[in-house]
């Protein structure tokens, strides 16, 4: 379902991760698929970071990113699109925090600590402030202001910064036009 007024767009923040297969290709394909969705426009994309595994550590390193997008989708509908995109790109949920071709996490809504709480979705993501692999890319794309300060403060409190390494800078075409494909 979408909001009825086209001007009712929300800015959303999504964390991306992959540690199986061609990680870089999978992340960029996921971004393109989201951008092609008629109700989603990707606005900004972070750099790509290679990160040590979290939780279940006996697995390959991840590539992690974050993106900001504009959408007319309600939060639950956006979550469904994210899950469908994961599945389309080969995501299998076998081991909690285990290896995966793609992980898409809905992190924030409307560039603030806007609260959303339902059976399937809690915003802001309840553990984002504990995870450098989320905060570091997020800090690349959040505009200056209270939320950016929150992210920086959370990053300053966490240890393990050596476990997050810039992999490559991404130059996203930030126009609002959707691609023709």
Catalytic machinery residues: 91, 100, 103, 105
Inter-residue contact 159 to 36 (CB < 8 Å): no
Residue of 179, 180, 175, 142 whose CA lies nearest to 43: 175
d(CA 122, CA 108): 9
Q: Quick one: tokens of 58?
A: 């006996």
DSSP run (H or E) holding 32: helix 23-36
Q: Which of 46, 13, 54 is nearest to 158 (CA)?
A: 54
Q: Is the peptide bond before 85 cis (omega within 30 degrees of 0)?
A: no
How many Å apart are CA 101 and CA 26, to the nearest integer? 7
Q: How many CB atoms lie within 10 A of CB 52?
A: 15
């Amino acid at each position: 379902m979408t909001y009825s007024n086209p001007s009712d767009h929300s800015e959303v923040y999504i964390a991306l991760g992959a540690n199986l297969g061609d990680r870089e290709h999978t992340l960029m394909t996921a971004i393109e698929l989201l951008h092609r969705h008629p109700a989603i426009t990707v606005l900004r994309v972070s750099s790509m970071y290679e990160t040590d595994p979290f939780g279940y550590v006996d697995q390959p390193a991840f590539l992690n990113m974050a993106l900001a997008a504009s959408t007319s989708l309600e939060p639950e509908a956006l979550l469904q699109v994210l899950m469908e995109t994961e599945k389309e790109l080969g995501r299998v949920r076998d081991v909690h925090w285990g290896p995966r071709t793609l992980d898409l996490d809905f992190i924030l809504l409307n560039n603030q600590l806007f609260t959303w709480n339902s059976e399937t979705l809690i915003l802001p993501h309840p553990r984002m402030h504990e995870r450098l692999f989320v905060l570091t890319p997020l800090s690349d794309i959040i505009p200056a202001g209270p939320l950016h300060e929150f992210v920086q403060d959370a990053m300053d409190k966490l240890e393990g910064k050596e476990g997050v390494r810039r992999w490559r800078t991404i130059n996203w075409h930030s126009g609002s036009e959707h691609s023709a494909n």
